[in-house]
Structure 1
Amino acid sequence: MNATRLTSHVSRGLLVTLALAGLTACGGGGRPASDLAASQVTTIGVNSYLWRAALEAVSFAPLLQADSAGGVIVTDWYANPDNPGERIKLTVSILDQDLRADAVRVAASRQVSQGGTWVDAPVQAATVQKLESIILTKARDLRRQAVS
């Protein structure tokens, strides 16, 4: 599935989720109805805010796989035009239906060009943590917008 069709599919899923939020407003044990809709409606299988935020965060790289039911996004190798001798590949996993800090995991691979071949190189832990933080911040912003 290409990125445009995927984004359209995810957008439709979010619209269904938001529409169902109104139907679930009468229950919830103190949690906002939009939280229940995002966490319990299985349109995409994982938290819709985290899913959308993760897709946006890795949108700079071409997608290899985006499995909304399993919550896995895998990018292809991406080389920054300003630094073509280095490339990265990302895997984002959404682990829960709730919007929680421990519900998103990012794994990164990095390679550098040496003598015309790509050689594995270490990824700084801060890089992965920063991307996780970006995803969580964007997901919280999306939730705030939906609740307002």
Structure 2
Amino acid sequence: MLLISRRSRHALFTSAALAAALLVAGCGDSKPPSHAEQMQKEMYPFGSILGGEGGISLFGKNKKSGEGEGAGIGVNSFLWRASLDTLAFMPIVQADPFGGVILTDWYTPPDSPSERFKVNLYILDRQLRADGVRVSVFRQQKTGADWRDAPVAGNTAATLEDSILTRARQLRLAQQARGNE
């Protein structure tokens, strides 16, 4: 009868578990989700809204619509341009048109040097929809030599989202007017 020591059984079990884990890990998608996709999954756990139409096409026309080949941006072009227009007064640290993410650096208003603001903006859809943009606003106040987090007025993010949506509608109407000429 073959006797296997306790230590050998443990090593055999550990090796088998490691091999199984590596095998299962190899079956997954190798591309991690973008930040916008991750935000979209957290906000809409029961369905995707990123699969809509209306994004910008950088390298040709949309394949789905039969207009040729190309890869498009995953966000609405009007929302993207409106977001950049609306946040133009703030220093932008990151602007990712493929993921729909715009991150600003701290901005200190000229009339209020003891406070500063920062904005994280996520465009979540290819369609011009009211729920296609999410804004997070952060505020800090200067206390002595240190900056301390401070509360932001409750309607600040919503007001910024409304401004972006209004600008996006203006851009869409202006493009439609040019197309009718």
Normalised by the length of structure 1, the TM-score is 0.72
Task: Please tell me whether residue 139 in structure 1 is matched to residue 168 in structure 2.
Answer: yes
Counterpart for residue 50 of structure 1: 79
Structure 2 residues not aligned, in runs of 5+: 1-54
Counterpart for residue 156 of structure 2: 127
Give CA deviations for 1:107-133 in whole Å, capped at 9, x if unaligned: 011000001100000111211111000
Task: Please tell me whether residue 94 in structure 1 is matched to residue 136 in structure 2.
Answer: no
SS at match of 2:83: helix
Counterpart for residue 65 of structure 1: 94
Q: Which runs of 4+ in 1 moved over 3 A?
A: none
Give CA deviations for 1:6-29 in whole Å, capped at 9, x if unaligned: xxxxxxx96x67x969xx7x99xx
| Cα distance in 2 for residues equivalent to 1:71 and 1:96 | 9
What one-letter code is carried by the residue in structure 1 that aligns with 2:126? Q
| Cα distance in 1 for residues equivalent to 2:139 and 2:128 | 28
Which structure is higher in RCO with an 8 Å CA cutoff and minimum separation 6? 1
SS at match of 1:124: coil
Which of the pair has more CA radius of gyration?
Answer: 2
Between structures 1 and 2, the one with greater helix share:
1
Count residues in correspondence. 118
CA drift at 1:45: 2.2
What one-letter code is carried by the residue in structure 1 that aligns with 2:111? D
Structure 1 residues 81 and 130, CA gap change in structure 2 (3 angstroms) = same
- RMSD value, Cα: 2.4
Normalised by the length of structure 2, the TM-score is 0.60
